[in-house]
Structures are given as structure tokens and as C-alpha cells.
Amino acid sequence: MSESALCQNRSIALNVKNPHYFTYNGKPTVLITSGEHYGAVLNLDFDYITYFNELKSKGLNLTRTFTGAYVEPVGAFSISNNTLAPASGRFICPWKRSSIPGYHGGGNKFDLGKWDDAYFARLKDFVAQAQKRGIIVELTFFCPFYDESQWKISPMNTVNNVNGIGSMSSKFVYTLDKSKELISVQKEMVQKIVHELKEYKNLIYEICNEPYFGGVTLEWQYHIADIIRETEKDFKHPHLISQNIANNTQKIKDPHAAVSVFNFHYATPPVAVVENYHLNKVIGDNETGFKGNADETYRMQGWLFIMAGGALYNNLDYSFTIEKEDGTYQYPATQPGGGSVILREQLSYLRHFINGFDFINMHPDVSFITEKFSKNAQIQALAETGKQYGVYIYGDKKADLELNLPAGTYQVEWTNTTTGLKEKTKALKHNGGAAKLTIPKYSRDIALSIKRI
């Protein structure tokens, strides 16, 4: 597809010139956010308008949400006020409720042969409201059952539906040979959602959250990818498909041709980008956590991943809850992650920083940094040699930074990652070779922009 065609399309797509990045509304795009715990649609008590307004106010442009094929019980993973764990009777999903009571999560059982019109109205409004605010929706179709407590409340479990199907172990639900009638139910759900959301341009479909748990097979994942692509074969603008590969990193072998976005979780250090950059597709880190509550941790993870060449970063933000959809919930220290107003503001500085470059012409490169740092320092950089350079430094406290730059005049600007303020902006007339720059004092991390003028 040509650049002119993409501009007319304006859908989220891989950038034609550099497919490590996105194009949206005809502009090169990186997706950065700190979003709620995936229950915004399936939880009837969640006010997603307030949530979207908070993301937009911070310049963040992504949310991730689950379809409702998976839901969590209250108290799961020690998450306080978990949006993915609706109150009794407040769970909505693609399948319609029957007239027969007995759903383990409260209310009537589900009929897997009928669709819930109210659900699809909510889902479409969710995507539409996000689109109005420039926010991309990554819609995750399925999620494995980590233990029996989640399978116990799944509509696909035979005890929760009136169709007499879903009597197998939770470990067999996402397989091709042992899921029995459920594979047809899953196919029909995917087809229905894809048809309902056909016209929306701000949408990425993710096959399954963390399929490396709970018995999810690769063959099943590829089957779902095939269903999406087959359903959209006559669509003018098919949607991107993402696949969740691993926690931390894994070198991808024999990728499915329909997958354009490869997502990792907890991908710090960002080895996943390095190992899979050759695929010429987007590499994302679409879930963080389990490293304490400090804003610094998840700010640092976002900067490192994007400055390593990643194009999607989503911090899992526990400050978004029912009645605190503006992200001001004060969660307990026992929470398995972080998130806050301050963190979202700091991630907006990252998005502003990367958007300050013509990043489509840049690639990961630290070879021009000739100064040695301590073993505890983490450094990532993007470069278009002789034209533009972006550097992120976390840790160490060096007074000087030495770079190997071609001859030319450059604009040098340091960014305080905690305040967003620019420091020590100056012009550098350079004859080529080693250029020594004085680093402003910083607490934990700092970013550098160098552009030829």
C-alpha cells in the first residue's frame, strides 16, 4: 500500500517506509499509554468516557481491553478494585444471558448461541469514543485460565451456559483437538466482533493474552489469526493483528504472515526488540508490573523500550478503578504494579520526545556513544547517522558524555524525564569525530536530543 493510500485510509497500520512503526491518520505513530486493567467494556460499572478523557489530557494514545471471553473473580492476583473483576451481575460479554439462574459470577447463565445486543452497543461506543480522542484500542479476544477460579466463572464453562458445552479441563479450551464444540463458539465470536467493528480505524486485534500459560497452543493461535484474516478478506482496510509472544523476551521463529505486531510483557531490559528487529514488524511491550509501585520503575521501562526501537508501550495502571476512572485511586502497597497521574504525565514527555524526531528514518544504535558507563547504567539510543540522535540514560552520574559525530552543526537539547523541562539547549559546531557534552545534573535518568541544523 502506498503512502498516499494510507493517508486516505487513515487507519492504524504499519508504516510503509519503516514497518517497525505505525501510521495513523496519515502520520508516523508510536503508541504509549498507562491504561486500566482491561475491564473497561465488560464491566458495566466502568465509566470509560472519564477514563478516555484522562488519557487524552496526558497525550496518551492507547488502551487495551478484553472482549469478555475471560473475566476475573474479585481478589484475583491481589488486585484491589480490579476493573476486570465486575461486581455480581455487572459483567457483560458477547453472549446473551438466558432466563435460567446459576451463573457463578452472579445472575443468569449464558446462551452461547445468542448475542447480547447491549454488549455490542457498548463495545462499539467504546471504540468510537476512543477514536474521537485519538486513542487506539487493542482488543484482546481471549485469555488463558491461570487457575480454576477464572474457569469457574467463564461463560464457556458448561456450568455457566445453557448449551451443554465446555465440559473439558480449562487447559484444553484453547486447543484445536480437545476444545470440542468450543472451537466453533470461539470462531463465531471472533467473526461477530470483527464484522461489528468493521468500520473503525483505531483498532488492533490481539489474538490472546499471555498464551504461554494455561495450555494455549500455537496452532490454535494461528487458527484464530486465520479466522480474523479470512473474515476481513473483502474489507477495504483490514485491521492489524497482534500476538503476545512471551514474558520478557523470546526470539520469534516462523511468525504467522497475518501478524503485524509482536507483543511482550515485562520486557525490561528490551532484549525482545533486539532479538526480533529483523522481522521488520512492530515490537510492543503491552503489559508491565510486578516490580513494585514506584513511578520511576515504569517510566524507565517505557523510555528504555521505545528508545530501543519499540513502537508500543502500555503500563498496567492500577489507579484506574470504578468511581476513580480519572486514575486517582490510591491503591495499597500490596498491588502488583503501579500507575498514577504523575506517571502518566511523565510518559507524555516520552511521547513528546519521540515525536520531536523524524523517527521513521531512525534505527536502534548505541555505537556512536563512545563514553563508558558503569555496569548499572542502562542506555538506549536511536539514530539517523549525521542527522538526528536520541539518547536515554538511566543510572550512573557521569559529568560528560562522548559521542562520535560527523562534522556539522547540531542542536543539542537535554530533557528532564521527570518534569519534561528542556535543559542546556545549545548549538554545537563540530569538526567530526569525538564530541564531548556536559551532562546536566539528574536524579535517575535523562534524555538527549541531537539534530543537525
Strands in 190-298 per DSSP E? 203-208, 240-247, 259-265, 282-287
The pTM assigned to this predicted structure is 0.96
Strands in 267-307 per DSSP E? 282-287
- Provide the 10 A C-beta neighbour count for residue 203: 20
Q: Residue 184, CB half-sphere, CA atoms under 13 Å: how many?
A: 7
Per-residue pLDDT of the chain (453 residues), as tens digits, is 444 443 456 899 999 999 999 999 999 999 999 999 999 999 999 999 999 999 999 999 999 999 999 999 999 999 999 999 999 999 999 999 999 999 999 999 999 999 999 999 999 999 999 999 999 999 999 999 999 999 999 999 999 999 999 999 999 999 999 999 999 999 999 999 999 999 999 999 999 999 999 999 999 999 999 999 999 999 999 999 999 999 999 999 999 999 999 999 999 999 999 999 999 999 999 999 999 999 999 999 999 999 999 999 999 999 999 999 999 999 999 999 999 999 999 999 999 999 999 999 999 999 999 998 998 899 999 999 999 999 999 999 888 999 999 999 999 999 999 999 998 889 999 999 999 999 999 999 999 999 999
Identify which of 442, 425, 420 has the alpha carbon closest to the alpha carbon of residue 348.
420
* Domains of the chain as residue ranges with CATH: 3-360 (3.20.20.80), 365-452 (2.60.40)
Helices (H), 140-260: 148-151, 182-196, 218-231
